[in-house]
Amino acid sequence: PPGASGAASQDAAASWARQRVGGRVGVHNVSKSFGSHKVLDNVSLSVPSGSVTVILGQSGSGKSTLLRSINHLERVDDGFIDIDGELVGYRKEGRTLYELKEKEVLRRRTEVGMVFQSFNLFPHLSVLDNIVEAPLAAGVPREQAEAEARELLARVGLAHKAQAWPRQLSGGQQQRVAIARALAIKPKVLLFDEPTSALDPELVNEVLDVIRQLARSGTTLIIVTHEIGFAREVADTIAFMDGGKVVELGTPEQVLVNPSHPRTREFLSKVL
């Protein structure tokens, strides 16, 4: 499994470090409603390049909507998001409106990788073809795309599964392929939305091990998870969301050991 000790994993760690340098993510006074339900309520968050931010919060607090907004899968109603000073999609402040062209949206989306709870591999494509799909679409020659895909598979401990079908893999293996696929576009920022929530308990750690390696790679990570121990270990910053707001923000020590907000304390008393 990934994270095993020895020379191979040291090579892997060095390889991770050669990823594209991490992007700085800025979320600026972002609000988003579905109908009359305000799901994001004036959210601001500053994520430094190469850092790891974990987002905690109860179901329905707006975590997925925030991640989806950072990848411009949702259009925000107010405020804006930038990566390294470049606008993500759409900006509205008061009466001022600025919107990127679709082509530019697509280009910038290649800077952000996303890993979902439900893996979302293409069932009709082999593991290798799942990984090369986006690079090929971006114009990378097949030979290069496949060589890089095999390298990524080795990093997630699945070099021997290149020709397998997704349905032949365990959930943990599928999720590791999904991470390799997200990395294939060499993202500046990787977003994880509850990456282990759909896994049997004994498969959680093989996926967390891969994310642990990534956390030292220089890629910026934003992770929604309920794995509190893991959060404490990898996070530079923990944001706690409640009712569409970031109500607490700080180091793991501050948020998990000395939370100041009653909702954070209540949440922690349930999950710890």
Contacts with ligand ADP by CB under 6 A lie at 34, 39, 57, 59-65
Inter-residue contact 32 to 76 (CB < 8 Å)? yes
Nearer to ligand ADP, 12 or 238 (CB): 238
Q: How far apart are CA 143 and CA 149, in angstroms?
A: 10
Min CB(63)–ligand ADP separation in Å = 4
* Residue 190: CB minimum distance to ligand ADP, A: 17
The gap between the terminal CA atoms of the chain, to the nearest Å, is 27
Instruction: Give which of Mg ion, ligand ADP, none residue 53 binds (C-beta under 5 to 8 Å, depending on kind).
Output: none
In the chain, the amino acid numbered 55 is I
Give the nearest distance from C-beta 26 to Mg ion in angstroms: 22
Closer to ligand ADP by Cβ: residue 196 or 213: 196
71 forms part of the interface with Mg ion (CB under 5 A): no
| Residue (60 or 218) nearer to ligand ADP, CB | 60
Closest approach of ligand ADP to the CB of residue 32, in Å: 9
Query: Which of ligand ADP, Mg ion, none sits in contact with 60, Cβ below 5 to 8 A by type?
Result: ligand ADP
Work out whether 64 is an interface residue with Mg ion (CB under 5 A): yes
* Binding-residue total with Mg ion (CB under 5 A): 1
Q: Smallest Cα–Cα separation from 69: which of 103, 29, 97, 101?
A: 29
Q: Greatest CA separation found in the chain?
A: 58
Residue entry with tokens 């952000």? 112
Radius of gyration, alpha carbons of the chain: 18
User: φ, ψ for residue 33 (rounded to 5)?
Assistant: -120, 150
CA distance 169 to 153: 13
Q: How far is the CB of 20 from ligand ADP (least distance, A)?
A: 27
- Which residues are near Mg ion by CB under 5 A? 64
